[in-house]
């Protein structure tokens, strides 16, 4: 079964983790919750979810793509050099990297925004622009293998495109 990383840390947005998680399962992927450590994390509303793997346990070659949910979790995720390295490596391999809402903080820290069309929650617009991104206030922005959206209401479009790009990743067989 093909694996897809879904990043998680404390203060994650429930909608932006749970909706993608189950959509990935529906499409036959193994959705791996990846945190800085393999432990329980709590959402903004207190929902507890366990990371399947810590960031040091996942190699970019083992996953087909990576999804970065929002909430305040990305501020914790971007402090983990292994998370940043993983996101950068997945991007460099040409695999889909999908960021929604405040997930933009992680793609900024991974250094994959410069010269790319991107979007995110309006509060991170300046961060994206200062990192060299071309900010578009649209529900879905795709620039190569970088997929971005603004907020939970954008999830249907966001996941449709992420799943489309995942289907294009060649089998390793």
Cβ atoms 96, 65 nearer than 8 A? yes
- Among the listed residues 77, 70, 87, 85, the one whose alpha carbon sits nearest the alpha carbon of residue 145: 87
- In whole angstroms, how far apart are CA 113 and each of 19, 120, 127? 25, 12, 10
Annotated catalytic residue, options 78, 102, 116, 125: 102
Annotated catalytic residue, options 17, 63, 101, 140: 101
Cβ atoms 146, 95 nearer than 8 A? no
101 is catalytic: yes
Give the containing element (helix H, strand E) for 123.
none
Rg (CA), the chain: 14
- In whole angstroms, how far apart are CA 157 and each of 20, 55, 93, 129, 164? 11, 27, 24, 23, 11
What is the set of active-site residues? 101-102
């Amino acid at each position: 079964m093909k694996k897809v990383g879904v990043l998680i840390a404390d203060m994650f947005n429930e909608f932006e983790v749970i909706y993608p998680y189950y959509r990935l399962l529906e499409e036959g992927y193994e959705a791996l919750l990846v945190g800085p450590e393999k432990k329980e994390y709590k959402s903004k509303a207190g929902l507890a979810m366990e990371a399947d793997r810590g960031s040091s346990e996942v190699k970019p070659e083992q996953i087909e793509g990576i999804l970065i949910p929002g909430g305040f979790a990305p501020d914790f995720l971007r402090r983990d050099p292994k998370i940043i390295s993983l996101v950068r490596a997945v991007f460099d391999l040409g695999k889909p990297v999908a960021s929604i809402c405040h997930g933009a903080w992680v793609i900024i820290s991974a250094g994959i925004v410069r010269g790319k069309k991107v979007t995110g929650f309006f509060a991170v617009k300046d961060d994206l622009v200062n990192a060299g991104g071309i900010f578009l206030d649209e529900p879905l922005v795709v620039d190569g293998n970088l997929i971005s959206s603004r907020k939970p209401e954008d999830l249907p479009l966001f996941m449709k495109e992420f799943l489309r790009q995942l289907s294009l990743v060649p089998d390793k067989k």
